[in-house]
């Protein structure tokens, strides 16, 4: 049972997140990685040009977005957090998901990512449809390469450097064959946030895995089969991306700093707050000519 904490006590919520992260029977004993992925997929639908998508609304609980194959398995993260929201109905799902992502990063040894409250929730699919626009096919496909990464992250307003920094989150967690079709972790200790992903990507020999699944790359380390997606490999194949991979492999502090900025920006995408600090669908009101 999650604890009820006073309204606005976000440190209290953070403490509850740390408790639900302990999941002895799930994956590597931690919900941390999948919480980070939830915050990312909730946010990563943003389009700068259309100015829709993003973490506001927590639309991933409903309809089309919930059914998007790119979001397979994220219901685990939503369910881990549900008791916290039920005990604390004053916090929106959208705020809770993003806060859980940043707290998980910190609890796993990563940097402090700036976070602000103020997101609202879409009540149901029709509410979501009314406001979120058409955001299908916006999340990246691991089978593709550098130009796809630039398309997807460019749409959110990210530079090459930021793309590489964000990709460092693959030091966490694993692929699940029954979710994405890919299989395995990127590093040996997938519940510890570090620059290990960049070190392994740039120093180990990655060869195509011989199996029935989609193309992925592997390296056996300490008896463990580690993996890279084609999109991960693209970071070493593209000369501009590669420069940043090498920098982050050498300098963990630089990676932490750049990651914290890029992730902090990610969870703010499309969150337009009004004067009260709350995302009252400001643009929608403007469109309708309301003050």
Active site residue ranges? 41, 186
Least Å distance, CB 93 to ligand CCH, is 19
Q: Which of 13, 17, 21, 34 binds ligand CCH (CB under 6 A)?
A: 34
Q: How far apart are CA 192 and CA 110, in angstroms?
A: 8
Does the protein bind ligand CCH through residue 149 (CB under 6 A)?
Answer: yes
* 229 part of the interface to ligand CCH, by CB under 6 A: yes
176 binds ligand CCH (CB under 6 A): yes
Phi, psi of 16 (to 5 degrees): -70, -35
User: Token match 């008791």: residue?
Assistant: 83
Structure-token pair, residue 6: 């006073």
For residues 100 and 229, which CB has a smaller minimum distance to ligand CCH in the complex?
229
128 forms part of the interface with ligand CCH (CB under 6 A): no
Interaction between residue 91 and ligand CCH (CB under 6 A): no
Only one residue has tokens 């130009």, namely 147
| Residue 179 engages ligand CCH in binding (rule: CB under 6 A) | yes
Nearer to ligand CCH, 9 or 141 (CB): 141
- H-run or E-run covering 196: helix 196-203
Chain position carrying tokens 């029954």: 178
Gap between the Cα atoms of 61 and 67, Å rounded: 9
SS3 at position 151: helix
CB of 128 to ligand CCH, least distance (A): 22
Distance CA 104, CA 32 (A): 5
Q: Give the residues lining the site for ligand CCH (CB under 6 A).
A: 33-34, 36-37, 40, 73, 140-142, 149, 166-167, 169-170, 172-176, 179-180, 182, 229, 231, 263
């Amino acid at each position: 049972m999650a604890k009820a904490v006073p309204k606005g006590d976000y440190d209290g919520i953070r403490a509850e997140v740390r408790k639900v992260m302990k999941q002895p029977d799930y994956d590597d004993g931690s919900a941390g990685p999948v919480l980070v992925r939830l915050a990312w997929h909730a946010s990563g639908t943003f389009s700068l040009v259309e100015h829709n998508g993003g973490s506001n609304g927590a639309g991933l609980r409903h309809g089309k977005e919930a059914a998007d194959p790119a979001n397979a398995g994220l219901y685990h993260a939503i369910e881990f957090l549900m008791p916290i929201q039920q005990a604390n109905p004053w916090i929106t799902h959208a705020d809770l998901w993003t806060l859980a992502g940043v707290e998980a990063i910190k609890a796993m040894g990563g940097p402090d990512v700036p976070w602000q409250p103020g997101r609202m929730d879409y009540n149901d699919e029709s509410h979501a449809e009314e406001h979120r626009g058409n955001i299908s096919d916006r999340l990246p496909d691991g089978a593709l390469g550098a130009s796809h990464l630039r398309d997807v992250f460019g749409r959110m307003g990210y530079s090459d450097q930021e793309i590489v920094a964000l990709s460092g989150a693959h030091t966490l967690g694993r692929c699940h064959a029954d979710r994405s079709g890919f299989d395995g972790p990127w590093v040996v200790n997938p519940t510890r946030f570090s620059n290990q992903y960049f070190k392994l990507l740039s120093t180990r020999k990655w060869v195509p895995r011989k199996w029935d699944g989609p193309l992925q790359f592997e390296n056996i380390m300490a008896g463990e089969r580690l993996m890279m997606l084609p999109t991960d490999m693209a970071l070493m194949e593209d000369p501009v991306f590669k420069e940043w991979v090498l920098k982050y492999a050498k300098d963990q502090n630089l990676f932490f700093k750049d990651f914290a900025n890029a992730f902090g920006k990610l969870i703010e995408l499309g969150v337009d707050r009004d004067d009260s600090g709350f995302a009252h669908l400001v643009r929608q009101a403007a469109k309708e000519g309301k003050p």
